[in-house]
C-alpha cells in the first residue's frame, strides 16, 4: 500500500524508525562513556538534533540518519556487539505498552503484537511473532525490498527485545540471534527465553510499569490541554494537538483534516508528512472517513462534526486498539478547541449581526427610493451571513418580472450585465431557496447566470409585504456551497433582514409612486418631459461606459389637430392613448416611450450597436401609425413625422440630441410627412417655433 507519510523515493526520505532506536543507541554509549561520549558521538556523525530530542519516542529518524548514528556508536564503543543487550531504559514506546490487556502477562504482550501484524517501532520491517513455549518466543524480522539490513541494527534489535522482559521485572532471560540476514540468511531470527518466576512479583512489577506508562500518557494529555487553553490562536492549538498526538501515539505521520475553514484559514494540519501527501490524505479522509490505511478518529462533539484526525501509516493490518483509544482522546481535544472557537465566533457574529441589523434599520428608516434601499440592503447582506457576494432583485408588480437593482462583490462588468437582465417569477412558494449550482438540477432562471458568474451556491429569500413579493435578497458563494447549508442560523438572519427590508421597501415604493405621478403624463401614464430627460442623460452615461450608442426619436402626429378640432377633445384624448399603445407594442422591452407635448412623443433607444438600429425602429413606428384607428364609431387616419438622432454623431448630451431630432422631424414634415429623417446637417432651417415649446 502506498505510504501517505513520505514520497516514494526509497528509505532515504522516509521517517522509518521511532525514537526507541535512537534511545537504544544513546543508552549504550552513555552506559560506556557517560554524557561526554554521547556528545562526542553526535559531533562526529554531524547529528543536528539534540540529545534531548533524540531521547523522545516521537523523534523518528530516516534510514540514513539511524544507520550513521548506529555505525558511529559502533566505532566509538569498539564494535557493533556493544550495542546489544545491556543496561538502559526499561520503558518501551507508549503504543507498544498499550497492548497490555493483562499487564501481568508477558505472553499477552507478544500475543497482542502478533495479532496486530505490524512492527510498531519502525516502518520498514515486517516481524512474525511465534510462540515456542510457555516462556519462549521467536521473532522473524525482514526488511522491505530495497532496504539493506546492517549488523548494528541486529544488535540494536537484541537490545530492544531485552527491554521487554526487564520492563516486567524479569532479569533472568536470554536473547539469541539464531539467524542473520547480514550473514546470508533469508531473514533475521531472534529467540527470547526467560525463566519462570514468582507470579505475584511478576504481576507487581508489571502493574508498576503500567502505572508509569499511564502517568506518562496522562501527563501528555494534560500538556496538550494546557496548550489548547493557553493564550494562543486556534491554528496554533490545532498544530499542538497534531504534534502531541504524534508524540503520544508514535506514528510519525499525522494529518488533521477539517471539513470547513470557517474558523481557520488552513483546512489541513500535519506533522511528519510532506505537504502534498498531507493534502492527498485529507482529501481521502473527507471522502472515505474511517479507512484501513490510517488510524482515524473523528473530530466531533454531540452538536457538530469538524473533520478527522489520522495517523497515516504504510503498514497494512489492524491497528492496536489502545492506539485508537489514545488517538480518540486527542481528537476530542481538537473538537473541544474547535467548539470553543466556534462558540466565540458565533458570539462575535451574533454581535456583528445585531450591529449590522441596527445600522440597517437606521439607514432604512430614512425614506428614499427603492433603488437606494436596495443598495443599502445589498451592502448589509455580507455583514449578516458568511457569503462572498450579494444582490437585491426588485419585482415589477405589473409584469411579475424581477430586475437586479443592487449588487455587492460582482465587479463592474457583471454588475452591468445583471442589471440589464429581467427574470421571471423566482418563487413557486413564499419561502427561502438554497441552491447548489454543482449539485442541484435547477429550474430557477438564475441558475445559468450563477454558473456564468462563477457562483457555487446561492440562497434566495423573498421580501414580502401583505402576501405580495416585492423583491428578493440573494446571497451567493464562489466556493464551498455547503457554507449556505451548514450555517446554523443563516435562514433566520436573512429572513430578519428581509423583514426589515419589506417595511422599508414598502415605504419607498409609496414614495416612488408619488414621485412617479409627478414624472408621468396623466393621460397616457407614459413618462413625461422631465422623466425622459433624466433617462436620456443616464443612458448617455451608460454609453460612455460600455461603448454602445443611444438613439432618440422625436415623433409628431400628422393631422391630429384637425381630428381634435373637428371631433372634440374626448376623441382626441382617446386617439393619443391609442397611438401611445401602438408605439409601446413596437419598441423593444428596454426602450422608453414618453409624451412630451400635446401630440408629440419621444422614444429613447438605449444599447444600439449602429444608427441603422434606430432608423429600423423609426420605420416600424411610421408603418404602425399608418394603420387606421377605430374610435367612437370613427375610422381615423393619421401618420407620423419622426426625427432621428443617434449619439455621438448627432449629439453627446440631451439638449444637442433633442435639437437635432427636432430639426430632423421638421425636415420629415417638409418632405411630405408620414416618414422619418435622420440628418445632422447644420444648414437645415431652424424649426418655425422656438425650442423648447
CB 324 within 8 A of CB 295: yes
Beta strands in 409-479 (DSSP E): 422-423, 433-436, 457-465, 468-477
Domains annotated on the chain, with CATH: 15-207 (3.90.1520.10), 230-343 (3.30.450.40), 365-517 (3.30.450.40), 529-678 (3.30.70.270)
Q: Which residue's C-alpha cell is 409584469?
A: 399
Statement: residue 624 has pLDDT above 90: yes
Shortest CA distance to 593 belongs to which of 585, 577, 604?
604
Least confident of 338-347, 408-417, 630-639: 338-347
Task: Label the pairing between strands 136-143 and 188-194.
Answer: antiparallel
pLDDT at 414: 83
Secondary structure E strands in 182-285: 188-194, 253-258, 268-271
pLDDT (0 to 100) of residue 314: 46
User: How far is Cα 528 from Cα 613, in angstroms, rounded to an integer?
Assistant: 24
What percent of the chain has a predicted confidence (pLDDT) above 70? 74
**Which helix (H) or strand (E) segment is 394 a member of?**
strand 389-395
Count of other CB atoms within 10 angstroms of residue 473: 26
Q: Which residue has the cell 562513556?
A: 33
Counting Cα atoms < 13 Å in the Cβ hemisphere of 39 gives 3
Q: What's the pLDDT tens digit per position in 443-470?
A: 555 666 667 778 888 787 888 877 778 8
Q: What percent of the chain has pLDDT over 90?
A: 28
Question: Which comes out higher in pLDDT, residue 176 or 356?
Answer: 176
Once rounded to an integer, what is the mean pLDDT over residues 530-555?
Answer: 91
Cα–Cα distance measured from residue 296 to residue 289, given in angstroms and rounded to the nearest whole number: 8
For CA atoms 107, 110, 115, 116, give the dihedral sign.
positive
pLDDT value, residue 99:
41
pLDDT value for 434: 55
475-532 tens-digit pLDDT: 888 887 777 765 656 767 777 777 777 777 777 667 666 666 778 888 998 999 988 9
Alpha helices in 385-476 (DSSP H): 411-419, 446-452
CA-based R_g, the chain, Å: 42
Per-residue pLDDT averaged across 425-440, rounded? Answer: 52
CA–chain centroid gap for 530, Å, is 48
Sign of CA dihedral 518, 524, 526, 528: negative
Q: Which residues pair with 126 in a beta bridge?
A: 142
Residues in the chain, how many? 693
Alpha carbon distance 357, 692 (integer Å): 49
Tens of pLDDT, residues 122-161: 878 888 889 999 889 999 988 888 889 999 999 999 998 8
Of the pLDDT bands very low, low, confident and very high (cuts 50, 70, 90), residue 675 is: very high
Checking if the pLDDT of 561 tops 60, the result is: yes
Region 582-587: mean pLDDT is 92
- Whether the CB-CB separation of 678 and 644 falls below 8 Å is answered with yes
Which cell numbers in the block locate residue 544? 460612455
* Helices within 387-465 (DSSP H only): 411-419, 446-452
Tell me what pLDDT residue 600 has.
95
- The whole-model pTM stands at 0.43
Residue in the block written with cell 447549508 = 485
Cell numbers linked to 596: 412630451
pLDDT greater at residue 403 or residue 658 = 658
Amino acid at each position: 500500500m502506498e505510504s501517505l507519510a513520505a514520497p516514494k523515493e526509497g528509505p532515504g526520505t522516509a521517517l522509518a524508525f521511532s525514537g526507541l532506536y535512537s534511545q537504544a543507541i544513546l543508552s549504550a554509549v552513555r552506559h560506556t562513556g557517560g554524557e561526554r561520549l554521547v556528545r562526542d558521538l553526535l559531533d562526529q556523525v554531524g547529528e543536528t538534533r539534540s540529545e534531548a530530542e533524540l531521547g523522545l519516542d516521537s523523534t523518528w529518524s530516516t534510514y540514513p540518519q539511524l544507520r550513521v548514528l548506529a555505525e558511529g556508536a559502533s566505532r566509538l564503543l569498539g564494535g557493533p556487539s556493544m550495542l546489544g543487550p545491556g543496561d538502559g531504559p526499561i520503558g518501551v514506546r507508549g503504543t507498544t505498552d498499550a497492548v497490555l490487556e493483562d499487564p501481568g502477562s508477558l505472553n499477552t504482550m507478544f500475543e497482542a503484537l502478533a495479532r496486530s501484524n505490524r512492527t510498531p517501532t519502525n516502518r520498514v520491517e515486517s516481524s512474525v511473532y511465534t510462540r515456542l513455549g510457555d516462556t519462549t518466543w521467536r521473532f522473524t524480522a525482514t526488511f522491505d525490498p530495497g532496504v539493506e539490513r546492517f549488523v548494528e541494527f541486529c544488535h540494536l534489535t537484541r537490545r530492544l527485545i531485552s527491554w521487554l522482559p526487564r520492563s516486567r521485572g524479569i532479569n533472568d532471560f536470554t536473547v539469541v540471534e539464531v539467524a542473520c540476514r547480514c550473514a546470508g540468511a533469508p531473514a533475521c531470527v531472534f529467540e527470547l527465553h526467560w525463566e519462570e518466576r514468582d507470579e505475584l512479583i511478576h504481576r507487581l512489577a508489571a502493574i508498576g510499569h503500567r502505572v508509569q506508562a499511564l502517568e506518562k500518557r496522562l501527563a501528555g494529555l494534560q500538556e496538550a490541554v494546557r496548550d489548547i487553553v493557553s493564550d494562543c490562536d486556534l491554528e496554533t492549538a490545532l498544530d499542538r494537538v497534531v504534534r502531541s498526538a504524534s508524540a503520544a501515539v508514535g506514528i510519525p505521520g499525522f494529518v488533521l483534516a477539517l471539513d470547513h475553514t470557517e474558523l481557520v484559514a488552513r483546512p489541513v494540519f500535519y506533522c511528519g508528512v510532506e505537504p502534498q501527501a498531507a493534502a492527498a490524505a485529507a482529501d481521502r479522509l473527507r471522502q472515505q472517513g474511517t479507512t484501513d490505511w490510517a488510524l482515524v478518529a473523528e473530530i466531533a462533539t454531540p452538536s457538530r462534526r469538524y473533520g478527522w484526525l489520522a495517523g497515516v501509516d504504510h503498514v497494512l493490518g489492524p491497528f492496536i486498539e489502545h492506539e485508537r483509544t489514545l488517538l480518540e482522546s486527542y481528537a476530542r481535544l481538537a473538537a473541544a478547541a474547535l467548539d470553543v472557537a466556534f462558540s466565540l465566533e458565533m458570539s462575535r457574529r451574533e454581535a456583528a449581526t445585531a450591529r449590522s441589523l441596527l445600522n440597517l434599520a437606521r439607514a432604512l428608516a430614512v425614506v428614499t427610493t427603492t433603488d437606494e434601499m436596495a443598495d443599502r440592503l445589498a451592502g448589509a447582506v455580507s455583514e449578516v451571513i458568511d457569503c462572498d457576494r450579494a444582490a437585491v432583485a426588485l419585482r415589477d408588480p405589473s409584469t411579475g418580472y424581477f430586475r437586479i437593482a443592487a449588487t455587492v462583490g460582482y465587479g463592474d462588468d457583471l454588475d452591468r450585465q445583471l442589471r440589464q437582465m429581467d427574470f421571471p417569477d423566482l418563487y413557486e412558494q413564499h419561502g427561502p431557496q438554497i441552491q447548489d449550482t454543482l449539485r442541484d438540477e435547477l429550474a430557477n432562471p438564475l441558475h445559468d447566470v450563477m454558473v456564468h458568474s462563477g457562483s457555487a451556491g446561492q440562497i434566495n429569500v423573498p421580501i414580502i409585504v401583505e402576501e405580495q413579493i416585492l423583491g428578493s435578497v440573494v446571497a451567493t458563494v464562489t466556493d464551498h456551497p455547503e457554507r449556505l447549508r451548514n450555517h446554523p442560523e443563516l435562514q433566520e438572519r436573512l429572513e430578519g433582514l428581509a423583514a426589515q427590508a419589506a417595511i422599508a421597501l414598502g415605504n419607498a415604493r409609496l414614495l416612488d409612486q408619488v414621485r412617479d405621478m409627478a414624472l408621468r403624463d396623466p393621460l397616457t401614464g407614459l413618462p413625461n418631459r422631465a422623466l425622459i430627460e433624466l433617462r436620456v442623460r443616464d443612458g448617455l452615461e451608460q454609453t460612455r461606459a460600455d461603448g454602445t450608442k443611444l438613439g432618440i426619436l422625436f415623433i409628431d402626429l400628422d393631422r391630429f389637430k384637425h381630428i381634435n378640432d373637428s371631433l372634440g377633445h374626448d376623441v382626441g384624448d382617446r386617439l393619443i392613448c391609442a397611438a401611445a399603445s401602438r408605439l409601446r407594442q413596437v419598441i423593444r422591452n428596454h426602450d422608453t416611450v414618453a409624451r412630451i407635448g400635446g401630440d408629440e412623443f419621444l422614444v429613447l433607444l438605449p444599447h444600439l450597436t449602429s444608427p441603422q438600429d434606430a432608423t429600423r425602429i423609426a420605420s416600424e413606428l411610421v408603418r404602425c401609425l399608418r394603420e387606421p384607428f377605430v374610435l367612437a364609431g370613427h375610422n381615423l387616419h393619421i401618420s407620423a413625422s419622426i426625427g432621428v438622432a443617434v449619439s455621438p454623431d448627432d449629439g453627446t448630451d440631451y439638449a444637442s440630441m433633442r435639437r437635432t431630432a427636432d430639426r430632423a422631424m421638421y425636415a420629415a414634415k417638409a418632405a411630405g410627412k408620414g416618414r422619418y429623417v435622420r440628418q445632422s446637417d447644420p444648414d437645415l432651417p431652424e424649426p418655425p417655433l422656438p425650442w423648447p415649446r
